Structure 1
Amino acid sequence: MTHAATANLPFKVHDIRVEGLQRLPVEKVYAALPIQAGDSIDHDQVADAVKRLFATGNFEDVQLGRDGDDLVVIVSERPTIAKIDISGNKSIDEDNLRKGLKQAGLVEGEVYQRSTLQAIAGELQRQYVSQGRYGADIQTKSVALPRNRVELKIEIYEGKAARIRDINIVGNTLFDDDTLLKDFELKPSHFWSFIKGDDKYSREKLSGDLERLRSYYLDRGYINFSIESTQVSVTPDRKNVFITINVAEGEQYTVNDVKLAGDLVVDENQLRPLLVIKKGQVFSQQLVTYTSDLIKRRLGNEGYTFAEVHGVEQDTGSDNNTVDVTFYVDPGNKVYVRRINFTGNAKTDDEVLRRELRQFEQAPANTSLIDLSRQRLQRLGYFSTVDADTPRVPNSDDLVDVDYKVEEQPSGSIGANVGYSDSSGFIFGANVTQNNWRGTGNRVSFALSRSDVRDSYSFSHYNPYYTLDGVSRGFSLFYSKIDFDQTSVASYAADRLGGSVTFGYPISEYSRLSFGATYEKTDITTGDYVAYDIYQFLDEYGDKFNEYKGNISLQTSTLNRGVLPDRGWSSTLGLEVAVPGSDYGFYKLNWSGQKYFPLTRRWTVRTRGEVGYGDGYGQDKSLPFFENYYSGGIGSVRGYESRSLGPRSPGMIYVDNGTVDPSPDPVGGNLLTEASLELIFPTPFAPDSRSVRTFLFADAGNVFQTEFNDAADNVSWNEMRTSVGVGLTWLTAIGPLSFDLAKPLNDQPGDDTEVFQFSLGQVF
């Protein structure tokens, strides 16, 4: 700090003149200068003025002088930062690094201060040390540019993180080191460390591990447990560290009594069952926290959304090491919902989301209903994530808003194909399935396929809220026809024409009862060759059937998501009957279900089962062959070709003269049994993604014919086919893609196996 000589003081200032400014306006100097024209000044006032100008941070040098009766202020401006160049940083993201620089005042366009840059270098050095990078080196320099500007260069050499050679706990007599270190995130170097990276020292990770250690003892009754000290020793080459943790375990305590105190707005008899920590138990901090959360949730169900519950243990002072646990309840004000808001639903109509809600506006805020509403939105299958928040309304103690944030995901599939085959000629096909048609929540599907041989069309529509009470309605139309005059394809074809309508009624929060009716006209056309069993059936019953079917089903689902769930279960039990008046009387009874068993947050076991049985009734002796069950393929028993398992015809008969060719052909059966076991695990390249799922699987299943004229096969469970493999399902923009690699375990001669299988548009 330099003062120009200010001789002949004091004097009365006639005018003030500023010299040396390059980019700053003169007004900034006048604003900081505590002297005005007409003031009489002395040495103290001059010194104060210089201090104030320096305090602005804009000047490297300030001088005050006198020219007659004029005060002359001569300044030398600090340079401005034209550019900040950062290089060498890998473990610290550059965006985060620049945010830190901005908070410290180092921003392009601002005044440059050397002391700040030096402080930043020191702080960066400390951050790298906290990551165990003891060899990190931070070099900073400024490069002068024209017009009083500088370019700052921050060159970082991060070095390698020091590896943990040993973690030693001192003072533990109740539990050995291996037991206590099992839940640590940090580990001494081991064989898999080069993949997991868990042997790289980090101060933050060590802090987390120390909290886990403390919780381990507190959850086992050692309320006086303490960590006395922690030492981290670095080897001279800075490549390895040794961690020593000194602990004092104390005595184990049991619970003498559990009490409730405070403002119990809910009857104590209703809160008592929520006390999961009991008299006589070993004290556990985890149970205390869990109990507090249960009580807060119960109060939240009554509208006390911001209730506070604190569990406090107090030594009884007895010789038997016991504590009293008291839960102090502060319910706060009862809270009401002012408004419910949605964000993220760019495609889905607001009405579609609101009809799933169980928490309403202007009603008391209910924690359970808010969470149930979130679950119902998640089960729609339109969103990959749904989060709920309850911010307070500003300047109000008894109002909250409920904000649901959703992230939309693909909820349908689309496909098209163009091709040519010798048997069918030119082929054109297109299909679209959309579970959230134009954001209305309706499911629409249509498909068409045309070729020289086959034409098929189908359309279906499902409205889950046909009425405001949640009654659903669905209908479908379908038509397909094959021209055998244009092909030499053997076997048979079923020309179909029909439609169906279904109504569903909610009978609980998780269950729905559905009723439906279907009309279907089936014309069977045979080629030159047809399966012998089918030939016999057509010879006895003819080849034209008009079927009037009624169906009823009970569907229950507690799945946490509509697509790729990993929690909950679902079940569907259905009965379909061809009613009197149909050309052929039969019924089909089906059950399918799945359940998820979480092992950890990311690992889940899924079980799936399906059973189906059909038969004729009255004079009709068996299930017609065109209603048979089939098994095999993706979503069924993987590793075997689609619809290839089960009974096979004794041979193919030449229709013109009755000659039988002994080549067998799958004909399906009237009894279906399938089961699957899957282990769902984090996808290696996208462990946190909800749009990709990887799994190991084991499948078993087959179809059987329990009665079919004189050629009936007996059911033999030894005929169950099994397979194992690995699969992946990926939700893409055009629909879910599933890929499976499967290995059949007990395939028999004649089975059609298939190692690689994929599908588009189905999720299993």
Structure 2
Amino acid sequence: MTRTPNRRLLALALVAALNSTALPALAQSVDPFALSGAPDTTGAQVAPIGSFTVSDIRIDGLQRISAGTVFTYLPVERGDTMDSSQAGDAIRALYKTGFFEDVKVGRQGTILVITVTERPAINKLTLTGNKDIKSEDLLKGLKEAGLSEGDTFDRLALDRVTQELTRQYNNRGKYNVEINPTVSRLDRNRVDVTITVKEGKAAKIRHVNLIGNEKFEDEAILEQWESREHNWLSWYKRDDQYSREKLSGDLEKLNSWYLDRGYVDFAVDSTQVSISPDRQDMFLTAGVTEGEQYKVSTVQVTGDTILPKEQIERLVLVKPDQIFSRRLLEISSDSIIATLSNVGYAFAQVNPIPDVHREDKTVGINMQVVPGPRVNVRRIAFKGNSRTSDEVIRREMRQFEGSWYSQAAIDRSKIRLQQLGYFETVDVETVPVAGSNDEVDVVYNLKETTSGSFVFGLGFSQLSGLTAQIQLSQTNFLGSGNQVSVQAQRNDYMQRYDFSFRNPYFTDNGLSLGYNLWWRELDYSDFNTAQYSTNSGAAQAVFGLPITETDTVTAMLGVDTNEILVFADTPPSIVDYVNALDRNTFHAWRGEIGWGRNSLDSFLTPTRGMQQRVWLETTLPGSTVEYYKLNYNISKFWPLNRHLVLNTRAELGYGDSYGDATTRDLCRTPGNYVCPPGSPDFVRTITADGLPFFENFYAGGVRSVRGFTDNTLGPREFGQPLGGAFKTVGSLEMYFPTLLDTPAARVSAFVDFGNVYKDYDSFDAGELRASTGIALMWRSPMGPISISYAYPLKSQDDVRNENGTLIEQGDELERLQFTFGGTF
């Protein structure tokens, strides 16, 4: 597993490497008393130094550095008596500046002559070939070590840096690394420095051997190690690459593994790391002494517990007669600290003091509680919010200024900020107030992300084809937290014009109020559904009221109209529904009420938590058609480890009418639906009942069951998908957060399943469709992109008779699916 080096640690390592070599450079200077007969710049001879009074001082050899700078560092002035000791001091002082690679001291009569050779300046510093250590991190470290463009060049510093970089790569398991510095001389005493890195391949761990373990097998012990022998997941985890830091961490895990199982006397006696002659294979060996297993004899809580002692004791998971476990001790300590920190004791400590009795192999535990002072939050500050106003952020705070410190409130405030979607990262730090031991400041460091967009361009998806749109949207309009969107869009099957506005804090207690206005002209013949089109519009008011930290109740009230246009090839069931009502325009007063819970840790890229919502949508009495739709969505993220996050998702939908069915007798005479009893013109009775066809649920596609063409699952009529009144869709999706080094992109592997049925009574689990595949989702600068490749696991083929005539059309498959410009 490749680790990104810490910039500060790298810089400190390079500086430490250089500081240890500053003074030895002086030993390489020329002896000042061996300078006789050296000509000065005027052709005069410089005599050996004796004791004399300095009448003047002359500096020879300067190019870029001014004489005034030299005089600043020179410990000799006119009128001083110069002798051999002071000459040595002068040389050392000038060498220490780092400006010169050679310094000579002589005299011309009573004139002190100092001849210097300046070190060249670094004109350009170039790094090539480095991948494991990023260039910006490396350049920062070099700069703090004194190697950067414009600085004075020091050959010794370059050599030391080369050695340090080699060591850094060796620590990452790359023993074939080559660091080749090149110095090119330029005019005006300048140089170009190029550091060429050939990283090579990291040495692979071929074998890990434990010696001395008798109680447990190697496989059980090594399960949690980061240093692993080569396996089928090594291409992703890179756990077969050796590094010294990983091995140190694994040895600590080895110690914890035994302590968690009661082996108090466990010790790692020796470790050995060997490498093959070609420096490609590593062999790790650790010798251990297991010792005996200990049990817990007594457990007590002492110190100032602040809260009732019984309440603190309930947080201690370690009990008498249990096998000793350091992990349970740590969990118990953390629980007590967290509980005290929530009532103001931010600096509380719990010191588990073990009393080991080796004769009977038991351990007594004393949980010593040290609460420290009760802490008050003096000020809450925000940094990095250049667009978002403080008021918008502060209303999400659950920790308040002037109140007792609460870690739970601070953490909850952080999550609420992450859920806004305005910030790419949210970090929080607690800063003690200078001169006070019972006050802290809480600082939230924010990195804002794009919260709005102005789009004028094109998008494309396999469902809608080419899409032209103009859209202005802001989820954080002018930093106020209000959401505003205006959109006009046209593609192969739709024209739409939308306006929406939402104020999430219409009242101070969090009541939200929003408005939606839209008009849409949809041609479903291009939508992979039945052949008909609609012209519809709506005006809606939307309300939301939070009832807990994670739960919200929503409501909607609106009015809409929908004109249905049928064609010659429209399925008969749709034509009959329209004819039974004897109208093609539907008006409705519409209401909706719902409940939602959101405990996700992030709006953009969640890794843990759950989001679920249930809502009932219904037309009110007096509408053209009286019906309802009940929906339930749930999505839960399970962090398995730092490499894997599992998302389980399900969608259920059901709809039906609640008014009386409308029936009409269909006659041969066009437009005449009233037939006398026994009339020869009578053909059949048609009925409008159940969920209207234009409100049916659909499934299949990139946002549903991938691998099947959008909206094509479920009932069909004359080969045309009709959708249905009952929908069930689910998914298991594994995300790989560390596979791509950017929070804007996610790679996943998934299994999707689901279908749509005519009604609930038609549900048959055997008719569920399923697919599996991989997906890439990327929030690109040009808009969201979603690409998936799916292989259907369960699908329906065409059914034909023995003559090859199609009896029942099978599923429409589409393995590669993508969307550009939508949301995901």
User: TM-score when scaled to structure 1?
Assistant: 0.83
Change in 2 beyond 3 A, CA 1:564/1:622: farther
Q: Which residue of 2 is the match for residue 310 of structure 1?
A: 351
Residue 500 of structure 1, aligned match among 537, 540, 544: 540
Residue 336 of structure 2, aligned match among 284, 292, 295: 295
* Mapped partners of 1:528, 1:604: distance in 2: 48
* Mapped partners of 2:698, 2:733: distance in 1: 22
Residue 2 of structure 1, aligned match among 13, 23, 32: 32
8 A Cα contact 1:410 1:733, kept in partner: no
**Structure 1: which amino acid aligns with 2:795?**
N
Identity of aligned residues (%): 33
Residue 750 of structure 1, aligned match among 809, 819, 822: 809
**Structure 2: which amino acid aligns with 1:204?**
E
CA displacement 1:643-696 (0-9 Å, x = unmatched): 4343445xxxxxxxxxxxxx3544443x31313122222178616535434231
8 A Cα contact 2:295 2:362, kept in partner: yes
* Mapped partners of 1:760, 1:110: distance in 2: 48
SS at match of 2:603: coil
Is there any run of 5+ residues in structure 2 with no aligned partner, and where? 1-30, 37-46, 461-465, 663-687, 798-807
Q: Which residue of 2 is the match for residue 387 of structure 1?
A: 427
* Mapped partners of 1:387, 1:571: distance in 2: 27
* Mapped partners of 2:333, 2:421: distance in 1: 33
8 A Cα contact 2:49 2:83, kept in partner: no
Q: Which residue of 2 is the match for residue 655 of structure 1?
A: none
Q: Which residue of 1 is the match for residue 692 of structure 2?
A: 625
CA displacement 1:247-305 (0-9 Å, x = unmatched): 22222222223333344333333322222333332222222222222222222212222
SS at match of 1:182: helix
Q: How does 1:572-587 map to 2 (within 5 A)?
A: 572-587=613-628
**1:547, CA displacement in angstroms?**
2.4
Residue 15 of structure 1, aligned match among 41, 55, 76: 55
8 A Cα contact 2:531 2:720, kept in partner: no
Q: Which residue of 2 is the match for residue 470 of structure 1?
A: 510
**1:358, CA displacement in angstroms?**
1.4
8 A Cα contact 2:205 2:282, kept in partner: yes
**1:468, CA displacement in angstroms?**
1.6
Change in 2 beyond 3 A, CA 1:64/1:641: closer
In the alignment, does 2:116 pair up with 1:62?
A: no
Q: Which residue of 2 is the match for residue 604 of structure 1?
A: 646
8 A Cα contact 1:448 1:457, kept in partner: yes
Change in 2 beyond 3 A, CA 1:80/1:623: same
Change in 2 beyond 3 A, CA 1:344/1:502: same
Q: How does 1:40-55 map to 2 (within 5 A)?
A: none
Q: Which residue of 1 is the match for residue 407 of structure 2?
A: 367
**1:366, CA displacement in angstroms?**
1.5
Q: Which residue of 2 is the match for residue 326 of structure 1?
A: 366
Q: Which residue of 2 is the match for residue 123 of structure 1?
A: 164
* Mapped partners of 1:93, 1:458: distance in 2: 46
Q: How does 1:135-284 map to 2 (within 5 A)?
A: 136=177, 161-189=202-230, 197-284=238-325
**Structure 1: which amino acid aligns with 2:422?**
Y
Q: Which residue of 2 is the match for residue 695 of structure 1?
A: 749
**Structure 1: which amino acid aligns with 2:732?**
E
The farther-off stretch of 108-117 and 472-481 is 108-117
**1:753, CA displacement in angstroms?**
1.3
CA displacement 1:492-516 (0-9 Å, x = unmatched): 4444344222322222222222233
Change in 2 beyond 3 A, CA 1:173/1:673: same
* Mapped partners of 2:453, 2:344: distance in 1: 39
Residue 558 of structure 2, aligned match among 518, 521, 528: 518
SS at match of 1:304: coil
Change in 2 beyond 3 A, CA 1:388/1:495: same
**1:368, CA displacement in angstroms?**
0.8
Change in 2 beyond 3 A, CA 1:161/1:446: closer
* Mapped partners of 2:318, 2:692: distance in 1: 62
**1:127, CA displacement in angstroms?**
3.6
Residue 729 of structure 2, aligned match among 640, 654, 675: 675
* Mapped partners of 2:606, 2:250: distance in 1: 32
The farther-off stretch of 284-293 and 740-749 is 740-749
Q: Which residue of 2 is the match for residue 338 of structure 1?
A: 378
Number of residue pairs the alignment of both structures matches: 730
The farther-off stretch of 542-551 and 621-630 is 621-630
Change in 2 beyond 3 A, CA 1:730/1:360: same
SS at match of 2:431: coil
Q: Which residue of 2 is the match for residue 616 of structure 1?
A: 658
SS at match of 1:123: helix
Residue 592 of structure 1, aligned match among 618, 627, 633: 633
* Mapped partners of 1:758, 1:52: distance in 2: 69
Q: Which residue of 1 is the match for residue 463 of structure 2?
A: none
**Structure 2: which amino acid aligns with 1:727?**
A
* Mapped partners of 2:202, 2:647: distance in 1: 37
**1:410, CA displacement in angstroms?**
5.5
Change in 2 beyond 3 A, CA 1:434/1:760: farther
**Structure 2: which amino acid aligns with 1:466?**
F
* Mapped partners of 1:300, 1:250: distance in 2: 38
* Mapped partners of 2:80, 2:579: distance in 1: 124
Change in 2 beyond 3 A, CA 1:613/1:732: same
8 A Cα contact 2:520 2:535, kept in partner: yes
User: TM-score when scaled to structure 2?
Assistant: 0.77
**1:367, CA displacement in angstroms?**
1.0
8 A Cα contact 1:412 1:735, kept in partner: no
* Mapped partners of 2:155, 2:494: distance in 1: 81
* Mapped partners of 2:624, 2:198: distance in 1: 84
Q: Which residue of 2 is the match for residue 403 of structure 1?
A: 444
SS at match of 1:391: strand
Residue 778 of structure 2, aligned match among 730, 745, 749: 730
SS at match of 1:274: coil
* Mapped partners of 2:239, 2:136: distance in 1: 25
* TM-align CA RMSD: 4.0
8 A Cα contact 1:692 1:731, kept in partner: no
Change in 2 beyond 3 A, CA 1:269/1:526: same
SS at match of 2:579: helix
Is there any run of 5+ residues in structure 1 with no aligned partner, and where? 420-425, 650-662, 707-712
8 A Cα contact 2:236 2:739, kept in partner: no
Q: Which residue of 1 is the match for residue 606 of structure 2?
A: 565
**1:220, CA displacement in angstroms?**
1.8
